[in-house]
Amino acid sequence: MAIKKKALVTLLIGDDYYKVWKTYFKQSWEKYADIHGYDIVIIDDFIDKSELAASRSVHWQKCLILEDERVQQYEDIVWLDSDVLINFHRAPCIVESNNSNNIGVVSNSYTFNNDFNIDNCLKRYNDYYAVLGVDNVMFTPQETYEKCGLDSHGLDYCNTGVLVLKPVLHRDEMKYVYDNYEESEYSAKDEVSISHHIFKQNLANLLDVRFNMAWPNVLFLNYPFLSMKENDEDKRLVTFCVNAAWHNAYFLHFIIAQEAIRHVSLVSQNNSSPFFTLSS
């Protein structure tokens, strides 16, 4: 089997997920792929259909993508959650940026690298939901690992919506996570498990934070006023904010909820400049 160079890979099981990706995200992936020479591989069915798979979130199938024969054809693959919007105008090739035999990730230490970010994002997020009376607490990485019963000593953390992987080198590592970790109330489906294994085994190569900028984090850090209903309903205001965030990012990760779908629909993907105006 001839080895191909690189591909963007995601999981889209069910028509609803595919429709959202096709409507809001597909164009940015295709343009980025054309610029940097990627194929796009869509996995639309369970890789594992066992009782174990049925007992946990579909997100765990991410651990098995390197088992897929189509994916094994590539030297490098980039796992993307299907709610990542690529700024194809300025994002460099993420595989070239990784340039490593380790797994490319954006780490928590890069995202929350000082008290300014921690206080104005994580704490602000928790304060907001506390006022609403919603049990939706964001924990530190150490707290998260400990709540999942995992060793947390000195370990970093990453959001696993963007991973740069080599099938030959990382297939067994990802399968190990699938077979040996468990889902829990605090595991963020598969994310805590993958993150823990990557950092515990020293498998991480840290990427530029712009390769996985989470829109909720950007919102609470830079645009906290959008958390107020009356401001979030101001389409013009939200449009300026979400477009500014997209122009600041390489990959803007929306972490889809209903309001995020509304926000991503406001991004002017064909506008290559951050200096823009809106018609009245």
- Please report the pLDDT score of residue 111 as a whole number: 76
> Which string of DSSP letters, residue by residue, matches 221-254?
HH-GGGGSHHHHT-HHHHHHHHHHHHHH-SEEE-
Model confidence at 128: pLDDT above 60: yes
Asked if the 4-264 domain carries CATH number 3.90.550.10, the reply is yes
Considering the chain, what percentage of its residues have pLDDT values greater than 90?
Answer: 76
CA distance 263 to 243: 9
Q: Which residues have a Cβ under 8 Å from the Cβ of 2 and sit 6 or more positions away?
A: 73
- What rounded mean pLDDT belongs to the chain? 92
Structure tokens at 103: 């797994």
More confident residue, 174 or 258: 174
Residue 146: burial class (beta carbons within 10 Å; 0-12, 13-18, 19+): middle
Confidence band (pLDDT; 50, 70, 90) for 257? low
Helices (H), the chain: 15-20, 26-36, 51-54, 94-98, 108-111, 115-117, 124-132, 141-147, 167-180, 191-200, 215-222, 229-232, 235-248, 258-264
Hey, where are the domains in the chain?
4-264
- Please report the pLDDT score of residue 119 as a whole number: 80
Model confidence at 273: pLDDT above 90: no
Model confidence at 12: pLDDT above 80: yes
CB contact at 8 A, 212 and 253: yes
CA distance 181 to 60: 10
CB contact at 8 A, 263 and 242: yes
- Closest residue by Cα to residue 160 from 207, 218, 228, 100: 207
Q: Give the sign of the dihedral formed by CA 97, CA 102, CA 104, CA 107.
A: negative
Model confidence at 110: pLDDT above 90: no
Give CB contacts under 8 A, 24+ apart, made by 121-124: 121/217, 121/220, 121/221, 124/220, 124/221, 124/224
- Please report the pLDDT score of residue 1 as a whole number: 57
- Closest residue by Cα to residue 21 from 117, 116, 85, 77: 85
- Please report the pLDDT score of residue 244 as a whole number: 97
Name the CA dihedral angle for 69, 91, 104, 197, rounded to a multiple of 10 degrees: -90
Give the chain's largest Cα–Cα span. 57
- The pTM of this model reads 0.94
Q: 54-58, 228-232, 240-244: which range is least confident on average? A: 228-232
Confidence band (pLDDT; 50, 70, 90) for 280? low
What one-character DSSP code corresponds to residue 266?
T
Q: 131-135, 201-205, 228-232: which range is least confident on average? A: 131-135
- Please report the pLDDT score of residue 120 as a whole number: 82
- Please report the pLDDT score of residue 92 as a whole number: 99
Measured CA to CA in angstroms, residue 153 lies from 68, 111, 150, 192 at distances of 34, 19, 9, 14
- Please report the pLDDT score of residue 258 as a whole number: 66
CA distance 99 to 82: 24
- Please report the pLDDT score of residue 131 as a whole number: 75
Per-residue pLDDT averaged across 136-149, rounded?
Answer: 86
Q: 59-73, 127-141, 237-251: which range is least confident on average? A: 127-141
Per-residue pLDDT averaged across 130-140, rounded?
Answer: 76
Q: Which residues have a Cβ under 8 Å from the Cβ of 13 and sit 6 or more positions away?
A: 43, 44, 45, 46, 58, 61
13-68 pLDDT, tens digit each: 999 999 999 999 999 999 999 999 999 999 999 999 999 999 999 999 999 999 99
- Please report the pLDDT score of residue 183 as a whole number: 96
